[in-house]
C-alpha cells in the first residue's frame, strides 16, 4: 500500500510539473528581513563607549578596541602610526613579549594590534583574560627600544622590496595623484620617511591618540550585559586622559580632464592599470545600495562586464575588476587589471568603453536580478563572522544610523531599479575627470598610450613627477648571442669554464625560523645534481648526459615529455653555456634599468608560458637578474630573482648571493656557504 501511495504521489508531481510554463521566470519573493542582533550601548565615566552584541549560539567572544582619531597627516615621518601598531605587540609593563605571547597561546586566543586598535578573541570562558589582555596592551604598552629597532629594520626592508612590486607601486602612485601629497590618503610611507621615525615619535603618537574619550570597545559574543559592564569597568574604568581635537582636511580637487600617468618599470612584461576618481560616500548614504548593484554589474567579480570583456572576450588579462570605498572622508571608485604590454592601450580603451556604457545604457533585467542575488547571498554569508557584526555595530554608532539600518538592507537592495543604477553610475564615475594610472615598461607602452589622445605624464615609484624616460636603444649589430658570449667572458672565459672538472656549491637561506639548504654538485663532463632540503621536505634533480631524474621526498617523479624537455634546457652548471647553443633568443631593443644599473635584456622562449628574461649588466657583463612569469589564482605575476656578490673561485666568477621574493616585504636570500672548484 505504501508503494502505491508513493507512486501516486510521483504521478501527481509529474502532472503538476507538466502544467508549469518553464519559459516564464518566477516572480521574486518579497525581500527577507534578516535578524541581526541589536547592539546595546553604555559609557564609562572616562568617556569610553562600549557596544555589546550578545550572541549565545557559540561559546566565543570577540573584543575590538578602536580610537576614533579621524585622519592623521604625518608629513616627513609618515609611517609612525603604523610602526606604533606593531610595537604595541612587543610587550607591556607587566609582560615581556614572550610572556604575552605565551599567555595568549595558553588560552588559545588571538591578539592583534594596529596603530589605533587592539583586537582579542577566544572562548567566552576566558572572558576575564581577554578583557585583561586587551586592556593591558592598550593602557600599559612597554614600547621597547629593541622592539622598535627590529620593527623599523623589517619595515625598511619591506619598503625596499616594494620598489620592485608593481601592485605596491600602483597603490602609491594612484593615491598620491588623486588625493595629493598633503592629504592623509595621499602621503606615502617611504624609506626616507620611516628612516626619520624615532621611538620618541611612536611614544608621542601613543600618548596623543590613545585616549578613552575617543575609544570604542565593541564586544560580540557569548556574554550578557551585566558581565560586560563589570569587566569593562574593571579593566578600562581606570584609564585616564582626553583627546582634544581631530584634524580636518579639505576634499581633494578633481582632475582637470582625463589624464594618464605612467611609472616606468623596465623589467615589466605586463602593465598594472588602475582607473578611477575620488568620491564622497559615507555608510548610510541613500545611493549606497544602487552603487553596490552598479559595481556588481560592472566588475565586482567574474560575472561583471569588465571580466567578461577583458578576459573572456579579448583575453587581455586573467581578471579585470572594479570597486569603491565607503567612508566619512573622501575615498575612490576604481577599476583595475594586469594586462600584457602589447595590449595596454587597448585594455584602457575597453575600460573606458565599459565605464561609459554603464553610464549611458540601462542594465538588463537579467543583470539587475543576478547582481541583487549575488549581493544578498554575500550579505547573508557575512553575518556568520563576528567581525562583521562588530563592524555593523560600530558603523551604526559612527555614522549615526537608525538602529535597524542593517536589518533593512535586503529591502533597500531589492528596491534598486535599472534607472537607479544608471543614475549613480553617472554621478560617481566622473568619466571626464578620470586618472588612468599605469605601471609598466614605458618603452613598450608609451607610444600606444599616446594615441588615445589624453595627456601622458611620468612619475617615480613614489609618485613624484619625473621626466619622460629616454629609451636607449641597444647598439646596432648587437645580438643576444654576443651578450651571452660577453657574460661567459666576464665569468672567466670559455677556456677556464670548460676546464672545470668538479664543483661543489652549497647555499643556505633562513626565513621565519626555517632553514633551507641548496646544493649543486657538478662532475665533468655532464653529471649535475641539484638538491634542496628543508623541514617541509626534500627534492633532487639529477642530470647524467641526456637523462634526467627527479626525486621528491625520496620518491621518483614521473616526468612527461614536456616536463623532461623543460628540465633538460636547464641542465647546465652555468646557464649561459646552454643559451649559447640556442637560436631562438631575442635581445630586447632598449636597455633596461635594474636597481640603477643599465642592462641588456634577453628573452628566452618557454613553452606554454611567457618568456624568461635574463638581464646582464652592461658595465660588468654579468647576469644580475632573472625574471620569470608565474601563474597563480590571481593571474600572472613576475618573480625577479637577483644575483649579486660575484667572487672568483678557481678562475671563474660565481654569484655568492641570490634573492628570491616570496611576497612584498619578504625575500628568501640564499648565501653561499661552500664553493669548492677543481
535 lies in some domain: yes
- C-alpha 619/C-alpha 603 separation (Å) is 20
pLDDT for residue 13: 39
Which of 50-64, 160-174, 293-307, 624-638 comes out lowest in average pLDDT?
624-638
Give per-residue pLDDT as tens, 501-529.
Answer: 999 999 999 888 889 999 999 999 989 99
55 lies in some domain: yes
Overall size of the chain counted in residues: 678
Res. 633 pLDDT band, cuts 50 70 90: low
Which of 139-148, 265-274, 478-487 comes out lowest in average pLDDT?
265-274
92 lies in some domain: yes
Cα dihedral: 77, 82, 87, 89 (round 10)? 170
pLDDT for residue 11: 35
- C-alpha 34/C-alpha 32 separation (Å) is 6
- C-alpha 273/C-alpha 452 separation (Å) is 15
27 lies in some domain: no
Checking if the pLDDT of 330 tops 80, the result is: yes
- C-alpha 252/C-alpha 178 separation (Å) is 7
Give per-residue pLDDT as tens, 261-277.
Answer: 999 998 788 999 999 99
Checking if the pLDDT of 35 tops 80, the result is: no
Instruction: Say yes or no: 224 and 273 in one domain.
Output: no
Helices (H), 60-144: 80-87, 97-106, 127-139
Give the three cell numbers for residue 544: 647524467
Res. 637 pLDDT band, cuts 50 70 90: confident
Task: Report, as an integer, the average pLDDT of 372-387.
Answer: 86
Give per-residue pLDDT as tens, 90-136.
Answer: 999 999 999 999 999 999 999 999 999 999 999 999 999 999 999 99
> Residue 372: which residues within 8 A CB-CB, separation 6 or more?
293, 413, 414, 416
Picking from 174, 203, 236, the residue at the C-terminal end of a domain is 236
Q: Where are the beta strands (DSSP E) in 222-282?
A: 259-264, 270-279
Task: Tell me the C-alpha to C-alpha distance, in Å, between residue 108 and each of 11, 95, 113, 392.
Answer: 57, 17, 17, 26
365 lies in some domain: yes
Residue numbers of the domain that contains 136? 40-236
pLDDT for residue 628: 86
Instruction: Say yes or no: 323 and 452 in one domain.
Output: yes
Checking if the pLDDT of 255 tops 60, the result is: yes
C-alpha radius of gyration, the chain, whole number: 30
- The strand pair at 259-264 and 456-459 is best described as parallel
Q: Compare 636 and 672 and report the one with higher pLDDT.
A: 672
Checking if the pLDDT of 50 tops 50, the result is: yes
Instruction: Say yes or no: 289 and 371 in one domain.
Output: yes
Q: What are the two backbone dihedrals, phi and then psi, of residue 183, each rounded to the nearest 5 degrees?
A: -115, 145
Give per-residue pLDDT as tens, 445-455.
Answer: 999 999 999 99
Checking if the pLDDT of 12 tops 50, the result is: no
Instruction: Say yes or no: 410 and 489 in one domain.
Output: no
3-state class (DSSP) for residue 477 = coil
339 lies in some domain: yes
Q: What is the CATH number of the domain that holds 121?
A: 3.30.830.10
pLDDT for residue 413: 97
Instruction: Say yes or no: 487 and 620 in one domain.
Output: yes
588 lies in some domain: yes
- C-alpha 298/C-alpha 426 separation (Å) is 13
Tell me the percentage of the chain whose pLDDT exceeds 70: 94
Task: Report, as an integer, the average pLDDT of 371-391.
Answer: 86
pLDDT for residue 311: 95
Residue appearing with cell numbers 661552500:
674
Picking from 181, 205, 236, the residue at the C-terminal end of a domain is 236
pLDDT for residue 203: 97
- The strand pair at 49-54 and 215-221 is best described as parallel
**Edge-to-edge strands, sheet with 49-54:** 40-43, 49-54, 215-221, 60-67, 117-123, 110-114
Give per-residue pLDDT as tens, 650-669.
Answer: 999 999 999 988 876 678 89
pLDDT for residue 610: 84
Instruction: Say yes or no: 281 and 201 in one domain.
Output: no
Instruction: Say yes or no: 492 and 461 in one domain.
Output: no
Q: In 3-state terms, the chain is what percent helix, strand and coil (to 5)?
A: 35, 30, 35
Checking if the pLDDT of 464 tops 70, the result is: yes
- C-alpha 529/C-alpha 604 separation (Å) is 23
Q: What is the CATH number of the domain that holds 533?
A: 2.50.20.10
**Edge-to-edge strands, sheet with 317-324:** 317-324, 331-340, 270-279, 435-440, 259-264, 456-459, 465-466
Q: Which of 115, 119, 117 is nearest to 83 (CA)?
A: 115
Give per-residue pLDDT as tens, 147-182.
Answer: 999 999 999 988 988 888 899 999 999 999 999 988
Task: Tell me the C-alpha to C-alpha distance, in Å, between residue 391 and each of 87, 217, 224, 300.
Answer: 25, 11, 19, 21
Q: Give the 3-state DSSP-derived string for 120-158, with helices as H, strands as E and coil as C.
A: EEEEHHHHHHHHHHHHHHHHCECCCHHHHHHHHHHHHHH
pLDDT for residue 634: 58
Q: Which of 634, 580, 567 is nearest to 317 (CA)?
A: 634
Q: Where are the beta strands (DSSP E) in 188-230?
A: 215-221
Give per-residue pLDDT as tens, 535-579.
Answer: 889 999 999 988 899 999 989 888 888 888 888 887 889 999 999
Task: Tell me the C-alpha to C-alpha distance, in Å, between residue 62 and each of 50, 130, 389, 502, 626.
Answer: 13, 8, 10, 61, 46
Across 388-404, b (16+ Cβ under 10 Å) vs e yields bbbbbbbbbebeeeeee
> Residue 646: which residues within 8 A CB-CB, separation 6 or more?
620, 622, 653, 654, 655, 656
Instruction: Say yes or no: 451 and 487 in one domain.
Output: no
Instruction: Say yes or no: 570 and 663 in one domain.
Output: yes
Instruction: Say yes or no: 488 and 361 in one domain.
Output: no
Task: Report, as an integer, the average pLDDT of 382-408.
Answer: 87
> Residue 243: which residues within 8 A CB-CB, separation 6 or more?
67, 69, 208, 209, 211, 213, 214
pLDDT for residue 22: 58
Instruction: Say yes or no: 220 and 296 in one domain.
Output: no
Q: How many separate domains does the chain show? A: 3
Instruction: Say yes or no: 140 and 183 in one domain.
Output: yes
Give the three cell numbers for residue 659: 634573492
Picking from 466, 489, 524, the residue at the C-terminal end of a domain is 466
pLDDT for residue 562: 81
Cα dihedral: 657, 660, 662, 663 (round 10)? 90
- C-alpha 79/C-alpha 26 separation (Å) is 55
pLDDT for residue 472: 83
**Contact call for residues 234 and 430 (beta carbons, < 8 A):** no
Checking if the pLDDT of 603 tops 70, the result is: yes
Q: Compare 331 and 565 and report the one with higher pLDDT.
A: 331
79 lies in some domain: yes
Checking if the pLDDT of 32 tops 60, the result is: no
3-state class (DSSP) for residue 563 = helix
Amino acid at each position: 500500500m505504501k508503494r502505491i501511495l508513493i507512486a501516486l504521489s510521483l504521478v501527481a508531481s509529474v502532472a503538476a510539473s507538466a502544467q508549469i510554463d518553464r519559459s516564464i521566470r518566477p516572480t521574486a519573493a518579497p525581500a527577507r528581513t534578516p535578524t541581526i542582533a541589536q547592539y546595546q550601548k553604555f559609557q564609562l565615566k572616562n568617556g569610553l563607549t562600549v557596544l555589546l552584541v550578545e550572541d549565545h549560539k557559540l561559546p566565543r567572544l570577540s573584543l575590538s578596541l578602536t580610537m576614533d582619531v579621524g585622519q592623521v597627516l604625518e608629513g616627513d615621518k609618515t609611517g609612525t602610526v603604523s610602526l606604533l601598531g606593531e610595537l604595541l605587540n612587543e610587550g607591556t609593563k607587566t609582560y615581556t613579549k614572550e610572556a604575552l605571547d605565551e599567555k595568549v597561546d595558553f588560552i588559545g586566543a588571538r591578539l592583534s594590534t594596529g596603530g589605533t586598535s587592539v583586537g582579542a578573541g577566544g572562548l567566552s570562558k576566558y572572558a576575564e583574560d581577554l578583557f585583561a589582555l586587551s586592556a593591558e596592551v592598550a593602557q600599559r604598552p612597554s614600547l621597547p627600544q629593541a622592539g622598535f629597532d627590529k620593527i623599523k629594520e623589517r619595515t625598511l626592508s619591506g619598503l625596499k622590496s616594494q620598489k620592485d612590486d608593481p601592485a605596491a607601486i600602483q597603490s602609491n602612485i594612484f593615491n598620491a595623484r588623486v588625493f595629493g601629497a598633503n592629504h592623509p590618503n595621499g602621503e606615502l610611507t617611504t624609506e626616507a620617511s620611516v628612516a626619520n621615525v624615532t621611538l620618541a615619535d611612536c611614544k608621542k603618537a601613543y600618548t596623543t591618540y590613545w585616549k578613552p574619550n575617543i575609544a570604542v570597545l565593541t564586544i560580540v559574543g557569548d556574554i550578557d550585559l551585566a558581565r560586560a559592564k563589570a569587566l569593562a569597568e574593571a579593566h578600562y574604568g581606570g584609564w585616564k586622559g582626553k583627546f582634544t581635537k581631530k584634524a580636518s582636511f579639505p576634499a581633494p580637487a578633481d582632475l582637470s580632464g582625463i589624464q594618464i600617468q605612467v611609472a616606468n618599470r623596465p623589467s615589466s612584461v605586463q602593465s598594472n592599470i588602475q582607473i578611477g576618481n575620488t568620491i564622497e560616500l559615507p555608510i548610510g548614504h541613500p545611493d549606497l545600495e544602487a552603487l553596490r548593484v552598479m559595481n556588481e554589474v560592472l566588475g565586482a567579480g567574474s560575472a561583471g562586464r569588465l571580466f567578461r570583456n577583458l578576459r573572456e572576450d579579448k583575453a587581455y588579462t586573467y581578471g579585470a575588476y572594479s570597486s569603491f570605498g565607503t567612508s566619512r572622508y573622501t575615498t575612490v571608485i576604481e577599476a583595475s587589471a594586469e594586462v600584457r604590454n602589447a595590449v595596454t592601450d587597448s585594455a584602457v580603451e575597453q575600460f573606458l568603453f565599459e565605464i561609459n556604457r554603464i553610464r549611458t545604457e540601462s542594465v538588463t533585467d537579467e543583470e539587475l536580478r543576478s547582481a541583487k542575488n549575488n549581493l544578498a547571498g554575500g550579505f547573508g554569508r557575512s553575518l556568520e563572522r563576528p567581525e562583521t557584526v562588530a563592524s555593523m555595530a560600530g558603523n551604526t554608532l559612527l555614522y549615526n544610523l537608525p538602529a535597524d539600518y542593517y536589518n533593512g538592507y535586503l529591502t533597500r537592495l531589492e528596491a534598486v531599479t535599472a534607472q537607479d543604477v544608471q543614475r549613480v553610475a553617472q554621478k560617481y564615475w566622473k568619466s571626464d575627470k578620470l586618472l588612468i594610472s599605469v605601471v609598466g615598461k614605458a618603452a613598450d607602452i608609451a607610444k600606444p598610450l599616446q594615441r588615445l589622445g589624453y595627456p601622458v605624464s611620468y612619475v617615480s615609484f613614489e609618485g613624484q613627477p619625473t621626466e619622460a624616460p629616454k629609451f636607449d636603444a641597444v647598439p646596432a649589430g648587437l645580438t643576444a648571442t654576443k651578450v651571452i658570449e660577453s657574460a661567459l667572458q666576464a665569468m672567466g672565459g670559455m677556456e677556464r669554464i670548460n676546464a672545470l672538472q668538479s664543483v661543489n656549491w652549497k647555499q643556505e637561506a633562513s626565513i621565519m625560523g626555517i632553514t633551507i639548504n641548496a646544493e649543486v654538485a657538478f662532475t665533468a663532463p655532464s653529471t649535475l645534481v641539484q638538491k634542496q632540503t628543508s623541514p617541509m621536505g626534500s627534492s633532487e634533480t639529477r642530470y647524467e648526459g641526456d637523462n634526467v631524474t627527479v626525486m621528491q621526498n625520496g620518491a621518483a617523479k614521473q616526468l612527461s615529455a614536456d616536463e623532461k624537455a623543460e628540465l633538460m634546457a636547464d641542465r647546465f652548471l652555468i646557464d649561459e653555456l646552454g643559451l649559447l647553443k640556442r637560436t631562438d633568443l631575442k635581445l630586447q631593443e632598449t636597455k633596461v634599468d635594474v636597481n640603477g644599473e643599465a642592462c641588456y635584456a634577453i628573452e628566452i622562449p618557454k613553452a606554454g608560458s611567457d618568456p624568461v628574461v635574463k638581464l646582464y649588466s652592461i658595465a660588468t657583463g654579468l647576469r644580475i637578474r632573472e625574471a620569470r612569469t608565474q601563474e597563480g589564482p590571481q593571474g600572472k605575476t613576475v618573480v625577479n630573482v637577483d644575483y649579486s656578490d660575484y667572487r672568483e673561485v678557481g678562475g671563474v666568477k660565481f654569484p655568492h648571493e641570490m634573492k628570491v621574493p616570496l611576497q612584498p616585504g619578504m625575500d628568501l636570500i640564499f648565501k653561499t656557504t661552500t664553493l669548492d672548484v677543481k
